[in-house]
Amino acid sequence: MEENWAKKIRGLNLKEFLIEKLLFASATISIIVVILIFFFLFSQGALAFREISIPDFLFGQSWQPTSVIKPEFGAVPLVYGTMVVTFIAMAISVPIGIIIAVYIAEVANPIEKEILKPIVELLAGVPSVVYGFFALVTLAAWIQQLTGTNSRLNALNGGIVLAIMVIPTIVSLAEDAITSVPREYREGSMALGASKWETIRNVVLPSAAPGILAATLLGFGRAVGETMAVLMATGNATIVNFNILDSVRTMTATIVIETPEVAFGSLHYHALFAVAVFLFAITFAFNYLAGVVMRRFRRTGR
Amino acid sequence: MSTKIETRDLSVSFGDVQAIKSISMKILANRATAVIGPSGCGKSTFIKSLNRMNELTLNSQTTGEVLLDGENIYGNNYDVVTLRKKVGMIFQKPNPFPKSVYDNVAYGPRVHGIHKKEALDRIVQENLKKAALWDEVSDRLHPSAMGLSGGQQQRLCIARTLAVEPEVILMDEPCSALDPIATAKIEGLMRTLSTEYSVVVVTHNMQQAARVSDYTAFLYLGELIEYGSTKDIFENPKNELTEKYLIGKFG
Amino acid sequence: MNIKLLKQRIYFQIFRITTASVILFLFLMIWTFISNGIGVIDWTFLTDIPRRGMTEGGIFPAIVGTIYLTLGAVAFALPVGVASAIYLVEYAHEGRLLRMINSAIINLAGVPSIVHGLFGFGLFVIFLNLGTSILSGSLTLFLMILPIVISASREALLSVPKSFREGSLALGASKWQTIRHNVLPYALPGILTGTILAVARAAGETAPIILTAAFFFRPTLPKSMLDGTMALASHIYYMATQHPNIALVRPLTYGSVLVLLGIVLSLNLVAIVIRTRHRRRKNW
C-alpha cells in the first residue's frame, strides 16, 4: 500500500478540492435564485410605479386594468379578496387543526396514529387544482343549497376549500410542537392528580403555544399564496362587498388570469408584477414571523 | 528504544477553553503508553491531537508540534489522510459500521485502493485473527456487525484499524463501555499489539494502566504532571499530585 | 373525580369526531371523483389524443406532458439539491454565509407557486426567449421544488450518526470517500423519499405551468424541449373553466382528475412506505 502513495495523495487531494468546490457552487444556487427572483420581480414591478402612484395602487378601490376608457390599478379589491378567503380559511382550519393535532398526539392509540398521520399527509398531497375542481362543482352546490345564495362561486366556498388545504400544515407543525413538550411536564401534572385532559389544557398546550403559533403563521402564508383552488372557487369578480356569499377575486387569481393576456412591457404587465411583489412581501412576512417564533421557542421553552 | 511520537509544547483550546497546556513528552516505539488522570484532565483531547481528530471539533486551536518519526504532523505539507492511516484510533464507544463484519474490516483497504477479492479475504482473516476475533466470527462474516456483542464489536474495530497497517494505535478508553470479561480480552490485546505497534491508551482505570502499559503519563487540568516507566510511576511517584491521585484522593 | 373523567371523555369524543369528519370529507371528495369519473377511464382515454374539440378521445398528450415537465424539473433539482445538501451538512462552516444560504432556502420554499410562475414567465418565456415550452416549465418547476429536495436531503444526512464519519476518517479515508461510502448510502432512503414527494408536487402544480408551458389544446405530442405541451393539471383547469361546453365534458374532466389524483397519491404513498420501512429497518 506504500508505493505511489505520494502521487496518489496529490491526485486525491485535487479530486477532493474539486468536489468541494462543485458542491459549494450547488449550494450557492439557492441564494442566487432567491436574489434573482427578488430582483427580477421588484424591477419589473417597480416599472409600474412610473405611471401609477403608490397610494393609488395600495388604496385604489377599483381594479380595471383592461378598461378602454380609464384603466385602473387599485389593489384593494384584490387584497380584500385574498384576506376574506384567508380569514375564513384560518377561522376554520386553526381550531380544527389544533384539535386534530391534539387528538393524534395525545389521545389516539398507536394504531390510529399509524393510520391518521399518513392520511393527513395525503390530504396535503392532493393537488390544488383538484381541490379547486371539487369546490367548483360539488362544494359550491352544497353551499348554494344550504344558503340559497345567488352567486354560486363565492368567498365562503373559497374559504372552506382553502381551510381543508391548510389543515395538514397546521396539524403537522402543531403535532410536532405538542409531542416535543417534555414528558416531565406531563408526568408532573398527572402526579398532582390532574386528568389527562386537564394536563393537556393547562400544561401541554400552553407549553406548545409558540410552536402552534408558528404553525398558524405558516398556515396564513400558505393560504395567502394559494392560487388554483381559490381561482376556481371564488368567482373572480373584483368587487368589495363584505358579504361572504358574494364573489371575490384574490391577488393570486388575478395574476393567473390576466398574465396570459397582457402585452409584454405594458403598464398592465408591470402592474401584475407589482401585485406579485405585494403578495411575495406578505407571505415572506408571515414565514419570517413564523421563523422568529420558532427560534424563540427553541431558546426558551425546552 | 526509539521515539515514535514526540510532542513539543502541545496546547489545544476550544474557543475560550484551554483543554491541554504545553505538553511535551516522548512516546516510545513498540511500547504501550498509558495516559491517566481524573475526568476532564484533557486525556481525550491529548490523544485526539495525535491523529488530528481534534480538528473535527469546531473552534479548535492547536499550537506546538507533534512529531511522528521526526516530522511535524501539523506542518503545512503533512497530509492528514496519510497521518490517519499511520495512526489509527479505537473509540470509547465501539462504532462498527452497519455493514457486515467482512465489509467493516475491508473498509479501510478498499478505501486505500485494494479491491481484489483474494487480497481482501486474506486481509480480513489475518486482522480478525490479530484482534482475537476470528474464531468467533469466521462463520458469520457476512451478517451485519451490529449483531455482535459490545466486546466483539470493539475487537472488530481493532481488526478494522489493523487492516490499514498502522504504525501507532491510539485507544481512547476502549473498555469503559464493556463488561469485565470483554475488558480482559482487550487488555490482553493491548499487550500483544504493543510488541508490533506503538500503543497509546487513555484510561480512567489506574489498575488497567498498571496491568497493561510500559510507560505512564499523568495529566491533571490539562498539564503533564509526571511521565515515566509504569513501574516508577506507580511505585515511586515523584510528584505529590500523582501520589494523591494514585491513592485515590481524587478521581 | 368522576366529573373530571366525564368531561375528559366528552372532549376527547368531540376531538375524535372532528378528526373523523375531516377524514370523511377527504374520502367523500375522492368518492365523488371516483363515482363520476371511473366510467370514463379506459384504455382509449389513457392512450388516445383528444378529438372533436376535446369532447371525445383521450388525454394521452396531457399525461405525456406532465411526465416530461416533471422529469425535466427533477433532472435539475435532484443533482443540484442533493449536492447543495451535502455541502451544507458536510462541508460548510458556521457563519454568515451558511445562515444566508439556509434562510434563502426557507424563503424559496415559502414563495407562492404563482409567483414562481410569474417569475418563470418573465425570465424564461419572455426575457430568455424560450417561449411557452417544456424547458420554461421545467426550469420554473425546478426552482419550486429545489427547497424540498434540499430540506429532505439535509435531514437524511443529519440523521446519519457522527460516529460513522469519525470512524471512517480515523481509518485514513478522505472526506469525500467517507461521505460516499459511509454517509450517503445510509441517507439514501430519506433522499429518495424527499425526491418522490418533490416529483408529486411538480406533477400537481398548475399555475406555474399555465404561464410557462401549457397549452389548452394540442393533439400532437411535443417534439422537443422548446415545444409547449398539454399537461394533466392545466387540462383539468381548462376543461372545468374554459372549455366552450363545460357541462358536456364534465365526465372527461372527472376522468382527468382521477388520473392526476391517482398518480400523485400513489407517489405520496410510495414515499410514505419507503420512509416507514426505512425507519423500522434502521439498525443504528
**DSSP letters spanning A52-69:** S-HHHHHH---EETT-SS
Pairing assessment for the beta strands B3-14 and B17-28 based on DSSP bridges: antiparallel
Cβ atoms of residues C90 and C184 within 8 Å: no
**pLDDT on residue C73:** 96
Class in CATH terms, A63-300 = mainly alpha
A252: Cβ contacts below 8 Å, ≥ 6 apart: A82, A224, A225, A226, A227, A230, A231, A279, C112, C114, C207
Q: What is the pLDDT of residues A204-217, one digit of tens each?
A: 999 999 999 999 99
Which chain A positions have a beta carbon within 8 Å of B114's beta carbon? 1
The partner residue sitting opposite B144, judged by closest CB among C172, C182, C283, is C283
Distance CA A143, CA C279 (A): 43
- Mean per-residue pLDDT of chain C: 91
Cβ atoms of residues C26 and A122 within 8 Å: yes
Å between A23 CA and nearest CA of chain C: 5
Distance CA A33, CA C157 (A): 23
Contact state of C170 with B146 under an 8 Å Cβ cutoff: no
Q: What is the mean pLDDT of residues C121-127?
A: 91
Contact state of C172 with B164 under an 8 Å Cβ cutoff: yes
Å between C171 CA and nearest CA of chain B: 6
**pLDDT on residue C19:** 95
Distance of CA C100 to the CA centre of its chain: 25
Distance CA A198, CA A169 (A): 26
**pLDDT on residue C280:** 86
Distance CA C54, CA C245 (A): 10
Å between B98 CA and nearest CA of chain C: 7
Is it the case that residue A4 has pLDDT exceeding 80? no
Cβ atoms of residues A108 and C13 within 8 Å: no
**pLDDT on residue B130:** 94
Cα distance from N-terminal residue to C-terminal residue, chain A: 51
Is it the case that residue B129 has pLDDT exceeding 90? yes
For chain C, what percent of residues have pLDDT higher than 70?
Answer: 100
C44: Cβ contacts below 8 Å, ≥ 6 apart: C57, C58
Nearest alpha-carbon partner for C141 in C189, C194, C82, C205: C205
H or E segment to which residue A290 belongs: helix A267-299
Cβ atoms of residues A190 and A92 within 8 Å: no
Is it the case that residue A11 has pLDDT exceeding 80? no
Cβ atoms of residues B93 and B178 within 8 Å: no
What letters, b where the CB count within 10 A reaches 16 and e where it falls short, cover C240-275? bbebeeeeebbebbbbbbbbbbebbbebbbbbbebb
A33: Cβ contacts below 8 Å, ≥ 6 apart: C104, C108, C143, C146
Is it the case that residue C175 has pLDDT exceeding 50? yes
**pLDDT on residue A302:** 44
Q: What is the mean pLDDT of residues B142-149?
A: 93
Which chain A positions have a beta carbon within 8 Å of C19's beta carbon? 99-100, 103-104, 116
Q: What is the DSSP letter of A73?
A: E
Is it the case that residue A301 has pLDDT exceeding 60? no
Query: What is the chain C residue with the closest CA to A225?
Result: C112
Phi/psi of residue B39, nearest 5 degrees? -55, 140
Query: What is the chain A residue with the closest CA to B119?
Result: A1
Locate the domains of chain A by residue range: 2-50, 63-300
Is it the case that residue C215 has pLDDT exceeding 90? no
**pLDDT on residue C96:** 86
Query: What is the chain A residue with the closest CA to B110?
Result: A1
Cβ atoms of residues B170 and B89 within 8 Å: yes
Residue A53 grid cell: 402612484
Distance CA C269, CA C196 (A): 10
What is the SS3 assignment for B177?
coil
Phi/psi of residue A99, nearest 5 degrees? -60, -45
Contact state of B82 with A9 under an 8 Å Cβ cutoff: yes
**pLDDT on residue A2:** 53
Contact state of B95 with C177 under an 8 Å Cβ cutoff: no
Residue A92 grid cell: 376554520
Which chain A positions have a beta carbon within 8 Å of B112's beta carbon? 1
Q: How confident is the model at residue C4 (pLDDT cuts 50, 70, 90)?
A: confident
- Mean per-residue pLDDT of chain A: 88
Is it the case that residue A149 has pLDDT exceeding 80? no
What is the SS3 assignment for B90?
strand
Contact state of A40 with C123 under an 8 Å Cβ cutoff: yes
Is it the case that residue A113 has pLDDT exceeding 80? yes
Distance of CA C199 to the CA centre of its chain: 4
Query: What is the chain B residue with the closest CA to A16?
Result: B81
**DSSP letters spanning C126-141:** IIS---SSHHHHHHHH
Sole residue written with cell 486474506: B122
Q: How confident is the model at residue C101 (pLDDT cuts 50, 70, 90)?
A: confident
Distance of CA C59 to the CA centre of its chain: 21
**pLDDT on residue A300:** 58
Q: Return the bridge partners of B63, or none.
A: B11
Q: What is the DSSP letter of C186?
A: H
Å between C182 CA and nearest CA of chain B: 8
Q: Return the bridge partners of C57, or none.
A: C50
Is it the case that residue B31 has pLDDT exceeding 80? yes
Q: What is the pLDDT of residues C11-49, one digit of tens each?
A: 999 999 999 999 999 999 999 999 998 988 888 888 888
Least reliable range by pLDDT among A185-199, C58-72, C227-241: A185-199
Cβ atoms of residues A234 and A248 within 8 Å: yes
Helix A110-125 vs helix C184-204: angle between axes, to the nearest 10 degrees? 50
Is it the case that residue C95 has pLDDT exceeding 90? no
What letters, b where the CB count within 10 A reaches 16 and e where it falls short, cover C115-149? bbbbbbbbbbbbeeebebbbbbbbbbbbbbbbbbb
- Mean per-residue pLDDT of chain B: 93
Q: Which chains touch B (3 or more CB pairs under 8 A)?
A: A, C
The CA–CA distances, whole Å, from A52 to A59, A175, A209, A277 equal 12, 46, 43, 15
Contact state of C172 with B93 under an 8 Å Cβ cutoff: no
**pLDDT on residue A299:** 62
Q: Return the bridge partners of B169, or none.
A: B88, B199
**pLDDT on residue B251:** 64
Phi/psi of residue B204, nearest 5 degrees? -100, 0
Half-sphere exposure of A50 (CA within 13 A, CB side): 10
Distance CA A188, CA C258 (A): 50
Å between C89 CA and nearest CA of chain B: 13
C105 compared with B171, residue with greater pLDDT: B171
* C-alpha torsion C28→C30→C35→C36, nearest 10: 110
H or E segment to which residue B200 belongs: strand B198-202
Give just the sign of the alpha carbon dihedral B76, B78, B84, B88.
Answer: negative
Q: How confident is the model at residue A54 (pLDDT cuts 50, 70, 90)?
A: confident
The CA–CA distances, whole Å, from B168 to B4, B50, B83 equal 8, 10, 10
Domains of chain C plus CATH, in order, are 61-231 (1.10.3720.10)
Distance CA C258, CA B74 (A): 65
Cβ atoms of residues A178 and A208 within 8 Å: yes
Give just the sign of the alpha carbon dihedral C66, C69, C72, C76.
Answer: negative
